[in-house]
Amino acid sequence: MRATATPKIREQKKIAVTEVNVRKAGTRLLSSSLVSTEIAYVQRILGAQATQDALDAKVLAVRSMPWASIVIPD
């Protein structure tokens, strides 16, 4: 009997969550570019590093969030 091969799950590399990387993800995923407040929110939530999938998910999610939850109150 032949053993079935199990698919190998690769661990995703983490990338820096910089303003440039967040802007690039926004440009690639959205029809309009992110504003600075949205970029700051993504950076604040994800921290210094994240996987590309996590970054993409957060960029897409930030557009459907209420503005009051994105902005830091004065």
pLDDT tens for each residue of 15-67? 999 999 999 999 999 999 999 999 999 999 999 999 999 999 999 999 999 99
Asked, for residue 71, whether it belongs to a domain, the answer is: no
Asked, for residue 31, whether it belongs to a domain, the answer is: yes
Asked, for residue 8, whether it belongs to a domain, the answer is: no
Asked, for residue 43, whether it belongs to a domain, the answer is: yes
Asked, for residue 27, whether it belongs to a domain, the answer is: yes
pTM of the model: 0.81
Domain range for 38 is 14-66
How many structural domains compose the chain? 1
Cα dihedral 15, 53, 46, 10 sign: negative
Asked, for residue 74, whether it belongs to a domain, the answer is: no
Q: What are phi and psi of 15, to 5 degrees?
A: -120, 160
Asked, for residue 2, whether it belongs to a domain, the answer is: no
Residues 72, 43 contacting (CB under 8 angstroms): no
Asked, for residue 47, whether it belongs to a domain, the answer is: yes
